[in-house]
Structure 1
Amino acid sequence: MSEGLQLAIVGLIVLACAWRAFKRYAPKTAWRMQASLSYSLERKGRPAWSMRIGRWLRPMEVASGQGCGSGCTTCGSCATNPVQETTPASNDPLRIRIIG
């Protein structure tokens, strides 16, 4: 594989991870940025491929009563209602026992 292709693949992976972290820690800002990009690609007079990408990038709307502070606990980021930690099963094959 050529060096340029390797750099492009690593760059895409780093960019995807950075976007994921950004969405995790700044969800409102990430939503606004994604919506802005989506709407600029969907403007009238744009090519069909641009409109398709804009529709694909369009962020999902949050219904009232959802999102941070609603107590849904799906993302685990709400300080008021954190996700419960699960305890490992007693027959977990990865458990390490120290014999001493």
Structure 2
Amino acid sequence: MSLWCQYGVVALAVTASLIFMMRKLAPQFAMGCQVAVASALTRDGRGPVSRWIGRGILPPTHRSGDCGDGCSACNRCGTSDTRSFPDVQPLEFRPRPAERAACSQERA
């Protein structure tokens, strides 16, 4: 494998990890960048391949335009999931059944 090919593979891996890191650590910034690139690719005067790629990388929230689908990707609309989970759950300690305790005493 040539040296330039290795550089290309390393550059591709670094770029992919940078994109993954941005999406995990700064999701709103990453979505804003993704929308900006997609809108630049889907402008009037662009070719059909460019528009197809732009529509493909457009985030799902901007494709549908529906704020009631509960995606919670932009944190601007409410989610459709209305379940609430308690922050703290109490521990319950239960004594061992008497049968098992009697069996263990017989073995000893």
Q: TM-score range with shorter-chain normalisation?
A: 0.5 to 0.7
Cα distance in 2, alignment partners of residues 60 and 27 from structure 1: 14
The structure that is helix-richer by fraction is 2
TM-score by length of 1: 0.62
Counterpart mapping for 1:1-100 below 5 A: 1-61=1-61, 63-64=67-68, 65-67=70-72
How much identity, in percent, do the aligned residues show? 29
User: Shift of residue 33 of structure 1?
Assistant: 0.3
Equivalent residue pairs, number: 74
Cα distance in 2, alignment partners of residues 52 and 5 from structure 1: 29
User: Shift of residue 66 of structure 1?
Assistant: 3.5
The one-letter code sitting in structure 2 at the alignment partner of 1:15 is T
Please tell me the root mean square deviation across aligned C-alpha atoms, in Å.
Answer: 2.6
Runs ≥4 residues deviating over 3 A: 62-66
Cα distance in 2, alignment partners of residues 19 and 36 from structure 1: 15
Contact preservation (8 Å) 2:34, 2:57: yes
TM-score by length of 2: 0.58
Q: Secondary structure at the match of 1:55?
A: helix
Any idea what the Cα deviations from partners look like across 1:62-91, whole Å, max 9, x if unmatched? 744442776x7xxxxxxxx7xxxxxxxxxx
- Residue ranges of structure 2 left out of the alignment (5+ in a row): 82-86, 88-108
The one-letter code sitting in structure 2 at the alignment partner of 1:67 is S
Q: Secondary structure at the match of 1:61?
A: helix
